[in-house]
Structure 1
Amino acid sequence: LRQFSVAGLWLPLVVPLCLQAPVALFGGVLLNYRDARRERKLIKRAFGYFLPDKIVDQLVENVGPINSADQLVYGACLATDVEKYTTLAETMSPRDLGQLMNEYYAELFKPVERLGGVVSEAVGDAMLAIWAASSAQTSVRRQACEAALDIVEALERFNKAVVGRPALPTRFGRHSGQMFLGSIGASHHYEYQAVGDMVNTATRIQGLSKYLGTRILASEATADGLEEFLTRPVGCFLLAGKTEAVCLVELGGRKQDSNPQVTVLYQKFADALEAYRTRQWREAANRFSDILDVFPKDGPSQFYLRRCEAYVLSPPDEPWQPTVRIDQK
């Protein structure tokens, strides 16, 4: 009281108000910030295995309901499938099969993520990867092509790396267009997926390789303008369950790395396919047969040779269209 009466100071009141209270408030804020950061890290760690990074970041920031990130976008899809997986699964224990598929998917995921894609689904032996943009962009189609080729190279090394480990030959299908990207589900179960006709078509294109004996197929529109890649048109197909035909190309690799023999094969095939389209069945059959004398394992030539030989014996009804109808997946 003497200090207050002499100097005008009231320390018992000033110290708590001006020093202790701000320190306590700042300490509380700091502790809350530390706890919040720790909680966000736990959320990212928990959901980062199952959702794309952008969606996890939105979840951490608590931006609206679960479907707040849903959007209609332009994108490219890459669908994959392992050949004869069902037979393989019958010969392995579930544990061994699971370990093999985890190692396999590690090879697939790396090129996708490195080239800006997102793995939308991985079910059994099938993967669906997507590249999305707000508008039609050549870059997303190019990245999908690059990823497919990089995965093929990675799987070639993977299938030879361990003696006795089953090889996993894989087919690829690529398509591009509009798709819905967001949370699909109800109640307490949601999955972040790409949905639309474009996605279904990519899967159907992949399945066509079973008939054509090819590795990487893509719609012509997806490969359009990507001059750095070596491609060959393989015809137009009405795929299972579809009402509109889609024209396809095989992706043979990068032009800078291409084998001159592959270029010769693609040119000869183009000539034979033109004969088929113009209904010169015998001429086309001879051309496809000549190709197989040099490239006996060329699947598209085998496919069209069988069709031409059948048309020579029994010409199709008029009007005839070169589009090939595929009734099975």
Structure 2
Amino acid sequence: MSSGITSGETARGGIPPTKVLVVDDEPDLEALVLQKFRRRIRDGTVAFLFARDGLEALALLAEHPDVDLVVSDINMPRMDGLTLLARLQEADEKVSTVIVSAYGDMTNIRTAMNRGAFDFLTKPIDFSDFETTVDRTVLHVRALREARRRQAAAERAHASLSRYFSPNLAERLAADASSLAEGGHRRDVASVFTDIAGFTGLVENLDPALLAELLNGYLAEMTGIVFAHEGTVAKIVGDAIHVLFGAPGEQPDHATRAVACALALDAAAQAFRAQWAARGVALGATRIGVHAGPAIVGNFGGGRFFDYTAYGDTINTAARLEGANKALGTRICASAAVAERAEGFLGRPIGDLVLRGKTEALRTFEPLGAEAFAAPGTARYIEAFEKLAAGDPTAMPAFASLVGLAADDHLASFHLRRLLNGETGTRIDLRTA
């Protein structure tokens, strides 16, 4: 067994040489190969190893796992080339193999190609053909290795990023490192904010271990719902979650997704509250705000701190709508911008809100599922709201009747209180609420 050339083991420019293992029992072949490739060996662009049969070849490959190519004769003692080829194909990291056979021995050549040989050469070997085959095979091998390297790097990056980002964002960032570049771009998005009412007080009074169990379970369930709707969790601060639809990838139906997600989050949060109520923990309702419009999205924060987020009035308005639920008595508050863009939107009007930091009123709605929208109380509420909008004095008894039938209809109660306090119309100023 020969380890071949040791000189030229480091190619110019620090690039390792192409390493070729020649497996043949002809005694003169090693000298011929070294003579024909002497210039490239001296330049450090190619290096050869030699073995006399398949067993020696396997031993050399165990010592030199960086071999790029195996060139093997078929007829050899102890282990022939076809058996060697089969053994090489069983390995996790398959080495590309070129089979050498006598001219006209198409049966063995066909067998070799069926067993996974990359190419073949015929004897007597034409060394120009040999060199061309080696170069072509090595280009193929290195392209495969680079593809595997990139895939492995992407998988490692994805595994790491998935701990912090939603799967769609993690996949994008892992596949395209340029997405990590600082800066942002303008895009139409739907923004969803959620927050648990009274959570700060709960934190102060709950056992730390129980708090950790509650918060981890809540966030796992809520983010799972976001991911199921292909949203991106832009930020989690304590119990509050900021979700984006339409970024990082464009989603033409981002408003539809946002509304569906908000309804699913509300249902899950209510069920989660019931579970913990049974354990004696009074968890507040999850309030949700939804708005759609242009925003600047991207990576902000600098080279050592990654913060994929969004900025702009659309984001601020969604956050304000989440907070508006407290005064309104609702759990979900969505803007008309969302309602108009969401396919098949179902809901009841809340009013024209003047939010903190704003002077213009924003028409808002309470999204409803199909069952809740079909309930008789919804139609009666919409009729009462139309009277409110028209300045009809019968709006007050209409809302009073609703509250009498459903005392837990907090939105109807909110409008009834307004009317009892002398307010009229649908304009609701929340700047001091």
- Equivalent residues of 1:74, 1:136 under 8 A apart: no
Structure 1 residues 160-213: Cα deviation after superposition (integer angstroms, max 9, x where no partner): 346306344211111000011111224632311011110110111111111111
C-alpha separation in 1, matches of 2:212 and 2:198: 16
1:50-129 correspondence to structure 2 within 5 Å = 50-53=164-167, 56-57=170-171, 59-60=173-174, 63-64=177-178, 66-67=180-181, 70-129=184-243
C-alpha separation in 2, matches of 1:263 and 1:322: 17
Select which of 306, 322, 325 maps to 1:190: 306
Deviation at 1:305? 2.0
Select which of 378, 385, 388 maps to 1:263: 378
C-alpha separation in 1, matches of 2:366 and 2:215: 26
State the TM-score, normalizing by the size of structure 2: 0.62
Helix, strand or coil for the counterpart of 2:310? Answer: strand
Structure 2 CA distance for partners of 1:54 and 1:20, relative to 1, 3 Å: farther
Q: Which amino acid aligns with 2:407?
A: P
Structure 2 CA distance for partners of 1:251 and 1:242, relative to 1, 3 Å: same
Helix, strand or coil for the counterpart of 1:327? Answer: coil
Deviation at 1:92? 1.2
Structure 2 CA distance for partners of 1:220 and 1:35, relative to 1, 3 Å: closer
**Partner of residue 408, structure 2:** 297
- Equivalent residues of 2:384, 2:399 under 8 A apart: yes
Identity level (%): 26
Select which of 296, 310, 328 maps to 1:180: 296
**Partner of residue 3, structure 1:** none
Select which of 253, 265, 269 maps to 1:155: 269
Q: Give the paired residue count.
A: 310
Structure 1 residues 288-309: Cα deviation after superposition (integer angstroms, max 9, x where no partner): 2222111222222222222222
Stretches of structure 2 lacking an aligned partner (at least 5 in a row): 1-27, 51-65, 70-94, 96-140
**Partner of residue 23, structure 2:** none
Helix, strand or coil for the counterpart of 2:359? Answer: coil
Q: Which amino acid aligns with 1:117?
A: G
Deviation at 1:103? 0.5
Structure 1 residues 56-76: Cα deviation after superposition (integer angstroms, max 9, x where no partner): 456545644843673211111
- Equivalent residues of 2:256, 2:341 under 8 A apart: no
Structure 1 residues 257-291: Cα deviation after superposition (integer angstroms, max 9, x where no partner): 6442233333333234224xx2x5x5332222222
Select which of 335, 340, 353 maps to 1:224: 340
Q: Which amino acid aligns with 2:190?
A: A
Deviation at 1:80? 0.7
Q: Which amino acid aligns with 1:125?
A: D
- Equivalent residues of 1:183, 1:193 under 8 A apart: yes
C-alpha separation in 1, matches of 2:216 and 2:239: 10
Greater displacement, 51-60 / 38-47: 51-60
Q: Which amino acid aligns with 1:101?
A: L
Structure 1 residues 4-43: Cα deviation after superposition (integer angstroms, max 9, x where no partner): xx99x73543488688279845589577776665444333
- Equivalent residues of 2:169, 2:232 under 8 A apart: no
- Equivalent residues of 1:73, 1:178 under 8 A apart: yes
**Partner of residue 274, structure 1:** 389
Q: Which has the larger radius of gyration?
A: 2
Stretches of structure 1 lacking an aligned partner (at least 5 in a row): 1-5
Structure 2 CA distance for partners of 1:321 and 1:67, relative to 1, 3 Å: farther
Q: Which amino acid aligns with 1:269?
A: A
Select which of 365, 380, 386 maps to 1:249: 365
Structure 2 CA distance for partners of 1:168 and 1:310, relative to 1, 3 Å: closer
C-alpha separation in 2, matches of 1:21 and 1:291: 89
**Partner of residue 200, structure 1:** 316
- Equivalent residues of 2:295, 2:310 under 8 A apart: yes
Is 1:20 matched with 2:85? no
C-alpha separation in 2, matches of 1:261 and 1:142: 25
**Partner of residue 324, structure 1:** 428
Q: Which amino acid aligns with 1:13?
A: Q
- Backbone CA RMSD of aligned residues: 3.4
Deviation at 1:328? 4.0
**Partner of residue 10, structure 1:** 32
C-alpha separation in 1, matches of 2:332 and 2:150: 47
- Equivalent residues of 2:372, 2:378 under 8 A apart: no
Helix, strand or coil for the counterpart of 1:297? Answer: coil
Structure 1 residues 86-106: Cα deviation after superposition (integer angstroms, max 9, x where no partner): 121111133432221111011
**Partner of residue 49, structure 1:** 163
C-alpha separation in 1, matches of 2:209 and 2:376: 43
Structure 2 CA distance for partners of 1:63 and 1:267, relative to 1, 3 Å: closer
C-alpha separation in 2, matches of 1:13 and 1:41: 44
Structure 2 CA distance for partners of 1:85 and 1:40, relative to 1, 3 Å: same
Helix, strand or coil for the counterpart of 2:357? Answer: coil
